Amino acid sequence: MTDHDAVDVIRTKRDGGALSADQIDWVINAYTRGGVAEEQMAALAMAIVLRGMTEAEVARWTRAMIASGERMDFSSLTRPTVDKHSTGGVGDKITLPLAPLVAVFDVAVPQLSGRGLGHTGGTLDKLEAIPGWRAALSNDEMLAQLEGVGAVICQAGSGLAPADRKLYALRDVTGTVESIPLIASSIMSKKIAEGTGALVLDVKVGSGAFMDELEQARQLARTMVTLGTEAGVRTTALLTDMSTPLGLTAGNALEVRESVEVLAGGGPADVVELTLALARDMLDAAGRTDADPAAALADGRAMDVWRAMIAAQDGDPDAPLPVAQHTEQLLAPADGVVVQLDARAVGVAAWRLGAGRARKEDPVQAAAGVELHAKPGALVRAGEPLMTLHTDTPERFAHAMAALDGAVELAPDEDRPAGGGIVLERVGV
């Protein structure tokens, strides 16, 4: 690899030029090793945000980030592997029922998940509400669980795409998160390094999502599907609605409780709808085209795998989940139909109650969050509860209530909104 100068690489992108493969390989390698300073990579990231990247640049950038660390190998498994990645949303607990559901059909689901930052919750934070459950597994433990149980949800090891871990933290504090090339390469470098044979992407669209415009989300989905396909991973994407929270809960223990309801054959219709849509795509990608995931939810098979998965990671599936010490209700100011419920506002309220974190080292409250009693289309009467807020620290209520000011829009009954499906579009190769 030719030795380069960081300033020349920054200037090339600043002036709208395309970075060469050699420049990309060098800058990612040097940054990972500490040879490119944080302020230099911050300048390059800002140049990418402003100037963009070609498809060839994004593909090479992704490959360079994969090459910065180890790659997992699932070839020893007797089951095909398929994973799901969500771009994140409010009340998005889908991984919890989805991984055990897909595993029912002799498919291995290696779900390497993350923690929440800001208004979107993290899957690991949710599962850590279960007494005893642990997120950290060795590669050997992970392989054994995939072969024996079929599903694992755990944290990614530090060896996977270390360049991304470093760059992600930098982008978060330098205003350089909003870039489709950087988002796509961040997600796909980790997923490709993870070694899964197939991948289904859940790209959220709406106020509670990272992308609030459909065309933006479509572009991100297409970029990621192309990156995955070119790397030999069978990749598809669903664009799904995140204008209103998923299900009736936002918060860690609250969302686990709701996920268990889905696994028991109940739960909110939108959570069940999206779980089944993603399960069908994942099973199709794994070659299980005749599988019936709805039957596996109804007859308890998915619940059996859930219990085995939680127990394998030292959790107690029968233990009572934490309950908040304090609750407060947001009441309907008038009679009417709920026509809008802003997902971002609910996410911010849950975060302020203690369910999320402002910095990655902050603790979270397992029991904090927001429980919804009415969603768009519901008829409510003045004084009825719209939401219940949960926290162990009641001084947080006022700040959380402020986030919900204007979050619920009511209208006369004749203005009741037509219900739409949660899956907006499907993106394939």
Shared domain for 259 and 338, answered yes or no, is no
What SS3 state is found at 330? strand
pLDDT in tens, 224-246: 999 999 999 999 999 999 999 99
Tell me what pLDDT residue 66 has. 95
Shared domain for 210 and 341, answered yes or no, is no
Tell me what pLDDT residue 273 has. 96
pLDDT in tens, 112-148: 887 766 666 689 999 999 999 999 999 899 999 999 9
Location of structure tokens 């949960």: 390
**327 residue type, one letter:** T
Shared domain for 231 and 359, answered yes or no, is no
Indicate the number of domains in the chain: 3
pLDDT higher at 429 or 426? 426
pLDDT in tens, 104-117: 999 999 998 877 66
Q: Is the model's pLDDT at 188 over the cut of 80?
A: yes
User: Binning pLDDT at 50, 70 and 90, where does residue 261 land?
Assistant: very high
Location of structure tokens 């609750």: 327
Shared domain for 192 and 94, answered yes or no, is yes
CATH code of residue 367: 3.90.1170.30
Shared domain for 146 and 249, answered yes or no, is yes
pLDDT higher at 20 or 165? 20
Shared domain for 140 and 47, answered yes or no, is no
Shared domain for 333 and 307, answered yes or no, is no
| Spatial distance between the Cα atoms of 5 and 37, rounded to a whole number of angstroms | 12
Give the strand order in the sheet containing 234-241. 82-86, 198-205, 234-241, 423-427
Q: Output phi, psi for 164, to 5 deg.
A: -70, -40
Mean pLDDT of the 54-67 span: 96
Q: Is residue 90 part of a domain?
A: yes
Shared domain for 113 and 237, answered yes or no, is yes
Arithmetic mean of pLDDT over the chain: 93
Shared domain for 287 and 332, answered yes or no, is no
Tell me what pLDDT residue 395 has. 97
* Boundary (domain end) residue, out of 253, 277, 312: 312
Shared domain for 40 and 114, answered yes or no, is no
Q: Is the model's pLDDT at 159 over the cut of 90?
A: no
Location of structure tokens 């959220």: 204
Stretch among 170-184, 238-252, 255-269, 384-398 having the lowest mean pLDDT: 170-184
Q: Is residue 75 part of a domain?
A: no
Q: What is the pTM of this model?
A: 0.92
Q: Please answer whether residues 52 and 46 qualify as being in contact, where contact means their C-beta atoms are separated by less than 8 angstroms.
A: no
Tell me what pLDDT residue 118 has. 61
pLDDT in tens, 198-232: 999 999 999 888 788 899 999 999 999 999 999 99
Phi-psi region of 131 (alpha: psi -120 to 50; beta: other; left: phi over 0): beta
The tokens describing 326, both together, are 């304090």
User: Binning pLDDT at 50, 70 and 90, where does residue 65 land?
Assistant: very high
**Host domain of residue 31:** 6-52
Residue numbers annotated as active site: 85, 164, 171, 186, 190
Mean pLDDT of the 382-386 span: 96
Tell me what pLDDT residue 212 has. 83
Q: Is residue 71 part of a domain?
A: no
CATH code of residue 32: 1.20.970.10
Q: Is the model's pLDDT at 309 over the cut of 70?
A: yes
Tell me what pLDDT residue 115 has. 74
Q: What spatial distance separates the first Cα and last Cα of the chain, rounded to whole Å? A: 33
Q: Is the model's pLDDT at 371 over the cut of 70?
A: yes
Shared domain for 346 and 406, answered yes or no, is yes
